[in-house]
């Protein structure tokens, strides 16, 4: 066997004499291939429209194949490439759920991150993973015309837990005694340290729902991620509002038997990743600027950032309330128009501007709290207004936790733009409760402080 190489015959070293010789040039050997017609393919400079990705077998009539040691230097054998396969590790994530129980705890009142104090008779119960649902009635006694917390559920968190951000589902079950004037006002989720002192508000929601007997109420709350210290636990605080007027208290009963679903998780450690054969270059996307409480921004200090469930909340764009660093009205500023029913004011977050407009349009008195805020120009902005009741609740909550010291709130009490009736309006006592105060009263040394929305 041999080849005609450059006009000369060449015989591989491993072909014994006596074997048939092929006295053909390379061009002669390839000629049959150039004349062969394949379906869907065209030789030459044209594009081949391959129907399948398999290469047709072409078996030359040359046997055996010369060894690589005897191939002339101008011929380089093509190496075989074996693709590498990188296995994908698997993992499972289990979100933690906590069962409310009848087991009690007593850790005082400093573990409540809500801005409200406790009811006259309050209760503290545990909620555990795999616990037994409570069966007993939990009796609470709440003051008339007040907003106070009545039940706490303490969640003991395993040490290997990831304190993730995400959605909490919190439930409350009423029992057989619920006065008609009682509302579930709000729910707060607090991170509390081993000394039973609240460290952070994981999330909160304003419910403002009148409750009935033997009914389950469900709230979803957006919670932030946390970096806990050893011994930290979670406290769920249920806040109630008693709208009955006059001196006295009312009794109501609830159950500690519901499941609280959290975004917290426990997960196994991931398997070591195999060494990749090639690492792609990844260009990180710049993170958006994150606004925080107590930050100087757009003419004042940020005192509240909207949360999921608030009117105007946008998961992609932060919105909230900005407050100037000085009072808009001096000591003993009046709400105004005692005896006049101002229609159209509400309590909710996002209603402060509309409330202020309603007041100044229906009450012509000069120097009242709403008009002072409406007329204010400060920090290059003129769209200030008197905050609503629920807006002041959130501001007071941040103030009570020393989260907004730059706002320089130093008065005793501040008017909201939410009317209670023709003679009274809601007044926020700093670091204390919300009360309905006579519109022309100076007993609490009331002041006014404006906000604007961003």
- Domain spans in the chain, listed from the N-terminal domain onward: 1-28, 96-265, 296-453
Q: What is the pTM of this model?
A: 0.43
pLDDT per residue as tens digits for the range 412-442 = 899 999 999 999 999 999 998 999 999 999 9
- Helical spans, DSSP H, in 265-368: 352-362
Most confident of 34-43, 48-57, 259-268, 375-384: 375-384
Summarize the confidence of residues 212-222 as an average pLDDT: 95
* Residues composing the chain: 454
pLDDT for 13 beyond 80: no
pLDDT of residue 135: 94
Summarize the confidence of residues 104-110 as an average pLDDT: 75
Worst-scoring range by mean pLDDT, 61-65, 171-175, 441-445?
Answer: 61-65
The residue that leads in pLDDT, 120 or 6, is 120
List C-alpha distances in Å: 6 to 60, 227, 354, 433: 20, 78, 97, 104
**pLDDT class for 117, splitting at 50, 70, 90?**
confident
Residues 6+ apart with CB under 8 A from 110: 196, 197, 198
pLDDT of residue 92: 57
DSSP state of 11: -
pLDDT per residue as tens digits for the range 387-419 = 999 999 999 999 999 999 999 998 889 999 999
Q: In whole angstroms, what is the distance from residue 148 CA to residue 445 CA?
A: 23
pLDDT of residue 105: 84
Summarize the confidence of residues 109-120 as an average pLDDT: 80
pLDDT per residue as tens digits for the range 190-199 = 999 988 899 9
Class in CATH terms, 96-265: mainly beta
pLDDT per residue as tens digits for the range 251-292 = 999 999 999 999 999 865 455 556 666 666 777 766 677 899
The residue that leads in pLDDT, 444 or 23, is 444
pLDDT of residue 357: 97
List C-alpha distances in Å: 180 to 172, 184, 210: 17, 12, 8
What tokens does 280 get?
A: 């792609």
Worst-scoring range by mean pLDDT, 31-40, 111-120, 134-143, 352-361?
Answer: 31-40
pLDDT for 53 beyond 80: no
Closest CA to 421 of 368, 362, 355, 343: 343
The residue that leads in pLDDT, 291 or 59, is 291
Q: What is the mean pLDDT of the chain?
A: 82
CA torsion, ordered 380, 385, 389, 392, to nearest 10 deg = 20
pLDDT per residue as tens digits for the range 145-191 = 999 998 999 998 998 899 999 999 999 999 999 999 999 999 999 99
Closest CA to 439 of 454, 419, 411, 453: 419
pLDDT of residue 267: 62
Percent of the chain whose predicted confidence (pLDDT) is above 70: 75
Residues 6+ apart with CB under 8 A from 257: 100, 133, 134, 135, 173
């Amino acid at each position: 066997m041999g080849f005609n190489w450059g006009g000369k015959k060449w015989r591989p070293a491993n072909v014994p004499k006596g074997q048939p010789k092929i006295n053909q040039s390379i061009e002669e050997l390839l000629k049959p291939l150039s004349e062969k017609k394949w379906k869907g393919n065209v030789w030459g400079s044209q594009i081949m429209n391959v129907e399948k990705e398999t290469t047709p077998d072409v078996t030359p009539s040359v046997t055996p194949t010369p060894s690589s040691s005897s191939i002339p230097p101008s011929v380089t054998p093509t190496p075989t490439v074996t693709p590498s396969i990188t296995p994908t590790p698997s993992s499972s994530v289990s979100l933690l759920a906590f069962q409310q129980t009848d087991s009690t705890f007593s850790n005082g009142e400093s573990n409540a991150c809500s801005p409200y104090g406790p009811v006259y008779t309050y209760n503290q119960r545990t909620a555990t993973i795999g616990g037994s649902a409570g069966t007993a009635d939990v009796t609470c006694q709440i003051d008339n015309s007040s907003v106070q917390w009545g039940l706490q559920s303490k969640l003991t968190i395993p040490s290997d837990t990831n304190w993730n951000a995400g959605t909490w589902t919190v439930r409350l079950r009423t029992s057989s005694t619920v006065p008609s004037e009682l509302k579930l006002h709000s729910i707060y989720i607090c991170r509390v340290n081993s000394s039973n002192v609240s460290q952070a508000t994981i999330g909160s929601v304003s419910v403002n729902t009148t409750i009935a007997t033997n009914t389950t109420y469900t709230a979803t709350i957006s919670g932030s991620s946390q970096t806990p210290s050893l011994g930290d636990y979670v406290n769920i605080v249920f806040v109630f509002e008693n709208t009955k007027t006059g001196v006295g208290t009312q009794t109501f009963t609830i159950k500690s038997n519901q499941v609280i679903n959290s975004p917290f998780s426990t997960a196994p450690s991931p398997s070591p990743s195999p060494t990749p054969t090639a690492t792609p270059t990844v260009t990180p996307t710049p993170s958006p600027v994150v606004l925080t409480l107590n930050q100087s921004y757009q003419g004042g200090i940020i005192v509240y950032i909207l949360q999921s469930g608030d009117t105007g909340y946008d998961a992609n764009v932060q919105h909230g309330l900005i407050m100037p660093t000085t009072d808009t009205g001096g000591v003993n500023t009046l709400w105004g128009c005692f005896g006049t029913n101002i229609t159209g004011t509400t309590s909710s977050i996002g209603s402060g501007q509309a409330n202020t407009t309603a007041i100044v349009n229906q009450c012509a008195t000069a120097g009242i709290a709403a008009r002072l805020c409406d007329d204010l120009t400060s920090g290059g902005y003129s769209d200030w207004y008197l905050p609503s009741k629920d807006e002041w609740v959130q501001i007071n909550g941040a103030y009570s936790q020393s989260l907004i010291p730059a706002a320089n709130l130093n008065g005793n009490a501040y008017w909201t733009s939410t009317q209670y009736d023709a003679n009274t309006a809601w007044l926020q006592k700093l670091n204390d409760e919300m009360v309905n105060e006579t519109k022309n009263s100076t007993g609490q040394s009331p002041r006014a402080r404006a906000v604007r929305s961003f």
